[in-house]
Amino acid sequence: MNLLKGRVLLNFLIGLMLVSSIYYLASHVMRGERGIMSLIELSNQSKELQKELDLVRSERITIENKVEALRSDSLDLDLLDEQARKIIGLSQPEEVVYLLDPKSL
């Protein structure tokens, strides 16, 4: 009878250790540093960063086009005039400039 109780206890402990080991490994597969949840989070971060990279690249292309238009060999005088008026408020001597309050519009 004692031998039977010993075997039952041994089988129970082996089963408990096996279940505990499986639970431990499964939890690390799901939530560990390199688990499935971390992989999903990294994938989402990658998508967000790719969108940001695309936006920055398009802004860079726009700026490069403006810089190219202002170079002396391909100078666009209309763009230069527009930028001078916009940035430093330049106007021609014969022009009349009316300043309007943006809040009243």
pLDDT of amino acid 105: 65
pLDDT of amino acid 100: 81
pLDDT tens-digit profile, the chain (105 residues): 677 788 889 999 999 999 999 999 988 888 888 888 888 999 999 999 999 999 999 999 999 988 887 777 777 778 878 888 888 877 888 888 787 887 876
pTM of the model: 0.49
In the chain, domain spans: 1-31, 33-71
Q: How far is CA 2 from the centre of its chain?
A: 65
pLDDT of amino acid 58: 97
Distances (CA, A) of 35 to 5, 22, 47, 48: 40, 15, 19, 20
Q: Which two tokens stand for residue 46?
A: 């990658």
